[in-house]
C-alpha cells in the first residue's frame, strides 16, 4: 500500500537514520503547540505513527493521550509501549477510533503513502470532534527547496513532484469539510555537520522514500558531492545542513 515496504529492515533503518533527536525538534514543538493548543489528557490520533517518535514526543511535550495507528507490523513493533500511547493497527482510511473520538489528528510524512487521500480525509473527519485540527508534517510537490536531500541529491525532486501538493491535499480535505488554516515551513536541526550526513547516507538510502528513488549513479554522484564538501571543510549554509518540512494545518 505504501510507496515502500516498511518491513523489518526498513523499520530498523528508519529508527536509526530517520528519527530526529528530540533536541533537534524544538521548532516543531513550538509550532505544534501553537496550532494544537494542547490540553493535558486530550486525545491525538497519530495516523501512520511509524516507530512512534512523535507519539512519544507529544506525550512528553504536551501530556496528551496518543492513539498511534500504524499499518506496518514491523514499524508498530518499535513503538515504545508506555503510558500515554495506545498502539493500534489501522490505516488512514480505516482508523480504529470511535466517531468524534479524538481532539486532533497528526500525520507526519504519511500523505504521500496514502492511496486515497479523499477517503482518508473523510475518515479523519469521522473520528475528530467538530472544530478539531489536522496537523500535517510533510514534504509537498513543488516545495523541495528547503529539503537538504534535494540539495545534495537533486534527482530526488523527480519523486517529490509525484507527492500530493498542498493544493491537492487541501482539496481532499475540503471535500470532507476541512479548510486550510496555516502553512509554514518548520526547520529541524538533526545534524551537527555534513560529515554526519555523509556517515548516514547509506542508511538513509534504505529508510527514506525519496532517497530510495535514486539510481545507483545518482546516489553515488550525490555522495561524492557530499564527500568533496566534507573534505574541503565547507561551512554548510541553509538547506545544505538544516532541513525544513511543511506544517499544514486544517480545521
Ligand atoms: C515515513 S514513515 C513516518 C512515520 C512517522 N509518522 C514519523 O514521522 O516518524 C511513513 C509511515 O506511514 C505508514 N503508512 C503507509 N501507508 C499508510 C496509510 N495508508 N495510512 C497510514 N499510514 C500509512 C508507513 O507504514 C510508515 O510507518
Please answer whether residues 188 and 242 qualify as being in contact, where contact means their C-beta atoms are separated by less than 8 angstroms. yes
- Any atom of ligand 1 within 6 Å of the Cβ of 197: no
- Any atom of ligand 1 within 6 Å of the Cβ of 91: yes
- Any atom of ligand 1 within 6 Å of the Cβ of 90: no
- Any atom of ligand 1 within 6 Å of the Cβ of 53: yes
Domains and CATH numbers, the chain: 8-148+157-191+242-250 (3.40.50.150)
- Any atom of ligand 1 within 6 Å of the Cβ of 108: yes
- Any atom of ligand 1 within 6 Å of the Cβ of 114: yes
Task: Give the H/E segment covering residue 7.
Answer: none
Compute φ and ψ for 94, nearest 5 degrees: -150, 85
Nearest C-alpha to atom 4 of ligand 1 is from which residue? 50
> pLDDT over 70 for what percent of the chain?
98
Write a three-state SS string for 137-201: EECCCCCCCCCHHHHHCCCHHHHHCCCCCHHHHHHHHHCCCCCEEEEEEEEECCCCCHHHHHHHH
Instruction: Report whether pLDDT(3) > 80.
Output: no
User: What pairs with residue 68 in β-bridges?
Assistant: 46, 87
Nearest C-alpha to atom 12 of ligand 1 is from which residue? 48
pLDDT digits (tens, 9 = 90+) for 106-156: 999 999 999 999 999 999 999 999 999 999 999 999 999 889 999 999 999
pLDDT of the residue at 175: 97
Compute φ and ψ for 199, nearest 5 degrees: -60, -30
Alpha-carbon dihedral of residues 244, 246, 247, 250, nearest 10 degrees?
A: 180
- The model's pTM is 0.94
Mean pLDDT calculated for residue range 169-184: 98
- Any atom of ligand 1 within 6 Å of the Cβ of 1: yes
CA-CA-CA-CA torsion sign (214, 189, 82, 111): negative
> In sequence order, what DSSP letters do the residues of 58-71 get, joined into one string?
HHHHH--EEEEE-S
pLDDT digits (tens, 9 = 90+) for 70-85: 999 999 999 999 999 9
Mean of per-residue pLDDT scores for the chain: 93
Instruction: Report whether pLDDT(104) > 60.
Output: yes
Selection from 135, 94, 130 nearest residue 115 by Cα: 94
Instruction: Report whether pLDDT(213) > 70.
Output: yes
For residue 70, how far is its CA from the centre of ligand 1 (angstroms)?
Answer: 7
For residue 228, how far is its CA from the centre of ligand 1 (angstroms)?
Answer: 34
Amino acid at each position: 500500500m505504501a510507496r515502500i515496504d516498511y518491513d523489518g529492515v526498513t523499520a530498523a533503518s528508519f529508527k536509526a537514520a530517520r528519527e530526529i533527536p528530540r533536541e533537534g525538534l524544538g521548532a516543531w514543538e513550538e509550532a505544534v503547540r501553537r496550532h494544537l493548543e494542547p490540553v493535558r489528557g486530550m486525545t491525538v490520533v497519530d495516523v501512520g505513527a511509524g516507530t512512534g517518535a512523535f507519539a512519544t514526543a507529544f506525550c512528553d511535550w504536551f501530556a496528551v493521550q496518543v492513539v498511534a495507528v500504524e499499518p506496518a507490523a514491523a514499524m508498530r513493533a518499535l513503538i515504545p509501549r508506555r503510558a500515554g500511547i495506545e498502539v493500534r493497527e489501522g490505516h488512514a482510511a480505516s482508523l480504529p477510533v470511535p466517531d468524534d473520538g479524538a481532539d486532533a489528528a497528526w500525520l507526519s510524512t504519511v500523505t504521500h503513502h496514502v492511496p486515497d487521500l479523499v477517503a482518508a480525509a473523510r475518515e479523519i473527519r469521522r473520528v475528530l470532534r467538530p472544530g478539531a485540527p489536522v496537523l500535517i508534517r510533510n514534504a509537498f510537490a513543488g516545495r523541495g527547496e528547503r529539503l537538504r536531500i534535494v540539495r545534495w541529491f537533486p534527482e530526488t525532486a523527480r519523486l517529490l513532484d509525484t507527492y500530493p501538493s498542498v493544493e491537492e491535499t487541501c482539496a481532499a480535505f475540503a471535500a470532507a469539510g476541512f479548510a486550510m488554516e496555516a502553512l509554514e515551513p518548520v526547520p529541524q536541526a538533526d545534524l551537527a555537520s555534513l560529515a554526519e550526513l555523509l556517515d548516514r547516507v547509506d542508511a538513509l538510502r534504505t529508510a527514506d522514500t525519496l532517497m530510495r528513488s535514486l539510481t545507483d549513479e545518482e546516489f553515488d554522484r550525490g555522495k561524492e558531492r557530499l564527500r568533496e564538501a566534507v573534505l574541503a571543510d565547507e561551512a554548510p549554509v541553509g538547506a545544505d545542513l538544516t532541513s525544513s518540512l511543511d506544517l499544514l494545518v486544517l480545521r
